[in-house]
């Protein structure tokens, strides 16, 4: 199960150019069963798992925006105060945007705090493999599964991020969180075990598909809703298909992948 990112490891960045952001890139290293280094690179070149950590620490996206107004510090709380909120979009929606290997959630209000996860689907690969064999790093296949509060973000390189949309829990003191909405990455597929077994082919992604599985319905709607299961299929250019079953535990609210 993924563990929460300690608050002290999240970074708050702010300046006049980029606005205000919370960087949660370090959270990827708290996920179990994630192959941040390709098995060929581990076996042949002895690449240590910390190299991806080095990528997160040394190639932080906010570094290029440093100026006199820039600040980078741990995340903190703010005092509760009444304010008139001005929404970016009229319906109050937030925008989730994906890049090559990065994921960001823009704030729903003007001057609000966004969430950024950098290098989420990045992987340390064997340098001798031509880039064309992997496909371009670009999270371009995005599927929303509202029943699971889940966004599936698939990269052309063949890696898939399972992203849960979240909201901070209300605090019972005189402070509140800096942000209104957030997200967390709960899994990266294929799993480390599947990559070590050679199940992920050395070719680009063809596409992904997500659909509900039939469930046994009992009396009332709660039982059916609590047993929602979905099938996620990852299709590669060589016609190999990897299939996973995903559901959400109603007691812990964690995403389960089988």
Contacts of 239 (CB under 8 A, 6+ apart): 206
Q: In the predicted model, is pLDDT for residue 257 greater than 90?
A: yes
Q: In the predicted model, is pLDDT for residue 206 greater than 80?
A: yes
d(CA 145, CA 91): 20
d(CA 20, CA 71): 10
- Spatial contact of 183 and 151, defined as CB atoms under 8 Å apart: yes
The reported pLDDT for the residue numbered 29 is: 85
d(CA 196, CA 212): 28
The reported pLDDT for the residue numbered 128 is: 58
The mean per-residue pLDDT over the stretch 13-37 comes to: 85
Residues above pLDDT 90, as percent of the chain: 36
23 exposure class (CB count in 10 Å sphere: 0-12, 13-18, 19+): buried
Residue 13's beta-bridge partner residues?
21, 72
The total of other beta-carbon atoms located within 10 Å of residue 174's CB is 9
The reported pLDDT for the residue numbered 243 is: 97
d(CA 155, CA 135): 9
Q: In the predicted model, is pLDDT for residue 70 greater than 60?
A: no
- Spatial contact of 187 and 2, defined as CB atoms under 8 Å apart: yes
The reported pLDDT for the residue numbered 113 is: 87
Q: What is the dihedral of CA 246, 251, 254, 258, to 10 degrees?
A: -30
d(CA 256, CA 258): 7
Most confident of 128-137, 167-176, 182-191, 209-218: 182-191
Q: In the predicted model, is pLDDT for residue 230 greater than 60?
A: yes
The reported pLDDT for the residue numbered 167 is: 84
Q: In the predicted model, is pLDDT for residue 249 greater than 60?
A: yes
The reported pLDDT for the residue numbered 214 is: 86
Q: In the predicted model, is pLDDT for residue 65 greater than 80?
A: no
Q: What is the mean pLDDT of the chain?
A: 80
- Spatial contact of 255 and 248, defined as CB atoms under 8 Å apart: yes
pLDDT in tens, 133-166: 666 889 999 999 999 999 999 999 999 999 999 8
The mean per-residue pLDDT over the stretch 53-63 comes to: 73
pLDDT in tens, 33-49: 888 887 777 665 554 54
Q: How confident is the model at residue 175 (pLDDT cuts 50, 70, 90)?
A: low
Q: How confident is the model at residue 32 (pLDDT cuts 50, 70, 90)?
A: confident
Q: In the predicted model, is pLDDT for residue 13 greater than 90?
A: no
pLDDT in tens, 89-125: 888 889 999 999 999 999 888 888 899 999 999 887 7
d(CA 25, CA 116): 7
The reported pLDDT for the residue numbered 187 is: 94
Gyration radius of the chain's alpha carbons: 20
Higher-scoring residue by pLDDT: 255, 8: 255
- Spatial contact of 188 and 233, defined as CB atoms under 8 Å apart: no
d(CA 62, CA 30): 22
Q: DSSP of 197-258, one letter per residue?
A: TT-S-SS-EEEEEEEEPP----SSHHHHHHT-EEEEEEEETTS-EEEEEEEE-TTT--EEE-
Higher-scoring residue by pLDDT: 44, 202: 202
């Amino acid at each position: 199960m993924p563990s929460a990112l300690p608050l002290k490891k999240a970074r708050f960045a702010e300046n006049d150019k980029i606005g205000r952001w919370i960087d949660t890139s370090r959270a990827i290293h708290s996920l179990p069963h994630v192959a941040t280094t390709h098995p060929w690179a581990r076996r042949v070149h002895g690449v240590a798992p910390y190299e991806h950590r080095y990528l997160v620490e040394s190639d932080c996206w906010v570094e290029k925006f440093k100026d006199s107004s820039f600040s980078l510090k741990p995340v903190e709380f703010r005092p509760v105060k009444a304010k008139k909120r001005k929404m970016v979009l009229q319906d109050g929606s937030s925008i989730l945007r994906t890049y090559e290997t990065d994921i960001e959630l823009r704030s729903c209000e003007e001057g609000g705090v966004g969430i950024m996860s950098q290098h989420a689907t990045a992987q340390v690969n064997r340098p001798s493999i031509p880039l064309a064999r992997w496909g371009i790093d670009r999270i371009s296949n995005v599927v929303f599964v509202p029943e699971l509060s889940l966004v599936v973000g698939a990269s052309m390189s063949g890696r898939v991020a399972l992203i849960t949309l979240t909201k901070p829990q209300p605090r019972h003191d005189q402070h509140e969180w800096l942000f209104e909405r957030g997200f967390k990455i709960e899994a990266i597929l294929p799993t480390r075990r599947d990559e070590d077994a050679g199940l992920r082919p050395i070719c680009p992604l063809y596409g992904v598909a997500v659909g509900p599985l039939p469930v046994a319905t009992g009396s009332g709607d709660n039982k059916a809703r609590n047993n929602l299961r979905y099938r996620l299929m990852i299709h590669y250019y060589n016609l190999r298909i990897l299939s996973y079953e995903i559901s959400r535990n109603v007691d812990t609210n964690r995403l389960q992948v089988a």
